[in-house]
Amino acid sequence: MGVFITGTDTGIGKTVVSAAVIQRYRSESKLCYWKPIQTGIEFDDDTAAVRALGECRDEEIFDEGVRLTRPLSPHLSAELSNTEIDLESLLSLFLPRADSASWIVEGAGGLLVPINKNSLMIDLIKKLRSPAVIVARSSLGTINHTLLSIEALRNRSIPTAGVVMVGEPNRENRNAIERYGEIAVLAEMPLFSSLTPSILATWARDQLDRDGLLREFFCV
């Protein structure tokens, strides 16, 4: 199994959280990272970032999928490249490998980002049958965005494994998300002024998912 790393927005910190989860749980499970859809590949390569920050071996990275040049919503980036993203084709890449590891799958943008004319990112999560980890900002507005994301997942019967808040710690926002969302905040990740694999690994071991709530989703 594994988890799907989604977010309340784009540029929220999903890639760093993905690398942190690898650093946190590598010693307990065979892990593999996958970014099914990457837009703006000429400017951002999340797979390369996770490889570096997670200090990943080749077998911990699956670098196949949709790779589009324009940094836009997947459906629009694909349309401008005269193509269309097909969910079944993505599943055909994943399913033969599904049982080979516990997967850290990173989405593009948020849950309701369009992938093609008929499908949203949340539809891909549903097809992968992965519990979701929501990455959210800690600042003003996060309560509404996070609770809406939780509701969208629950409306589709997708398990939500927890929330990682990114930014300056905000106790009231954290308490509200946990109370009204009936969900655990797995960690509050700072905006690192300097980020290296070593710094991220230390933070992940000390701060990420202290209660081991994600452990049940990883093969031991």
Point out the catalytic residue in the list 14, 30, 35, 126.
35
**Residue 192 to residue 198: CA distance in whole angstroms:** 12
What is the H or E stretch that residue 201 is in?
A: helix 197-207
| Residue 22 amino acid letter | I
- Residue 111, SS3? coil
What is the distance of C-alpha 126 from the center of its chain?
14
Q: Is-contact 48 18, C-beta < 8 A?
A: no
Told to judge if 14 belongs to the known catalytic residues of this protein, a careful annotator would answer no
**Residue 81 to residue 69: CA distance in whole angstroms:** 8
Give the active site residues: 35
